[in-house]
Amino acid sequence: MNRAELIKFVCGKLNIDEGAADETRVADIIDDMIPYMNDILGAEYDYSAPGNARMLFINACMYEFNDALDDFAKNYLGEIIKERMKNEVGNDEE
């Protein structure tokens, strides 16, 4: 999934019509959320691939879209820790 498809996917989750003014805002949010999520999850991800990381990424985008990113880490702390632990275990095995 390229950037344009990821934007379309996130817009779909946010119920934003294609071409809507908010689509540009979503694109900016995605550009900001990729490094943010890589940092808090402790690894680089392909957020287009199904799984826990994508679920967290989409939810982070939704929180940021609603100007509530501060609440994201609090509400998803358990999932973030679980994903970080998978990364740390994977790095230790290498």
Please report the pLDDT score of residue 28 as a whole number: 95
- Report pLDDT for 92: 54
**Whole-prediction pTM value?**
0.88
Q: Output the pLDDT for position 93.
A: 53
Which amino acid is residue 21, in one-letter code?
A
Measure the N-to-C terminal CA separation of the chain; round to a whole number of Å.
Answer: 28
State which residues form the domain around 14: 3-93
Q: How many domains does one find in the chain? A: 1
- 18, with CB counted inside 10 A (0-12, 13-18, 19+), is exposed
Low-confidence ranges of the chain (pLDDT < 50): none
